[in-house]
A and B are shown apart, each in its own frame.
Chain A
Amino acid sequence: MDNPLSPHLQIYRWQITSVLSILHRISGVVTSIGSVVLVTWLLAIGIGEETFNCINSIFFSFLGRAVLIGITLAVCFNTLNDIRHLFWDYGYGFSLNVVKFTGWLVAIISIILTVLIWLFVYEVI
């Protein structure tokens, strides 16, 4: 056993730091599975216009949009929280107050970004 193990989730009290740590992993897995959506779209473009229109109508159905919005949120969160992790790697932002603050910041900004992206897609803004 070479790597240090992560803490056992069952005995941990819920707090912003641990919740975000778990969400970071969950969003990473969601993004990984979400790559299938992106590849499906790319492949549909390659196959032809009819397939592309068909895939588009599936993606823009109610369920499709729900999935896409979920993936958008996962990508935004994973990227922003990764930037937070990169700052830690260089030794910045380690005090408890800052960790909590940047944690909330990342959570809130990823939601705002997701909303903004979808407002752009709907041409509201």
Chain B
Amino acid sequence: MSNSAKTTWKIHKFTSMVLVPFVIYLMLKIISISKLSYEQIIDELSSTWAILYILIFTVLGLFHMRLGVFEIMEDYVHDKTLKKILKIFVSVFILGILTLVCLSLLLILIS
């Protein structure tokens, strides 16, 4: 295994570990939020902790997603051009999600 593959693996494992409590919290939060009214949800989501949580979770999640999907492609996509196209597609997808999360948070903050 090359050095970069080792580093990639370590980052992937690190994101796994940190994401476990984040996902548990997310699950509990979504259940409790689903019972609230719109105004209460806005209140809940515009707290500093909520915004910090959402941003950190998004970045960690997207890193984890990118590494996982690239690993799968490494195993099953052998055509170089196709792999390149798929990698661009995944990167655009990730940037799109990140942009939309930031936009949503801005909208929530000014509302």
Contact = CB atoms under 8 A, between A and B. Distances in A.
Interface in A1-33: 2-6, 25, 28-29, 31-32
Interface string B63-85: 00100110110110000000000
A4 B1 contact: yes
Contacts of A79: 19-20, 23-24
A89 to B, nearest CB: 6
B101 interface: yes
Contacts of A4: 1
Given A25-B72, A52-B38, A121-B31, A45 B65 contact: no
B97 interface: yes
B83 to A, nearest CB: 12
A39 B62 CA distance: 12
Assign chain A's interface to a size class. 20 to 34
Given A35-B97, A75-B27, A86 B16 contact: yes
A84 to B, nearest CB: 11
A45 B5 contact: no
Taking each of A45, A52, A79, which has the highest tally of chain B beta carbons within 10 Å of its own beta carbon? A45
A32 B108 contact: no
A-B CB proximity, top 9 nearest = A46-B107, A46-B104, A2-B2, A42-B104, A43-B104, A6-B75, A32-B65, A49-B38, A46-B108
Interface of B: 1-2, 4-5, 13, 16-17, 19-20, 23-24, 27, 31, 34, 38, 41-42, 45, 54, 61, 65, 68-69, 71-72, 74-75, 97, 100-101, 103-108, 111
Interface of A: 2-6, 25, 28-29, 31-32, 35-36, 39, 42-43, 45-49, 52-53, 75, 79, 82-83, 85-86, 89, 117, 120-121
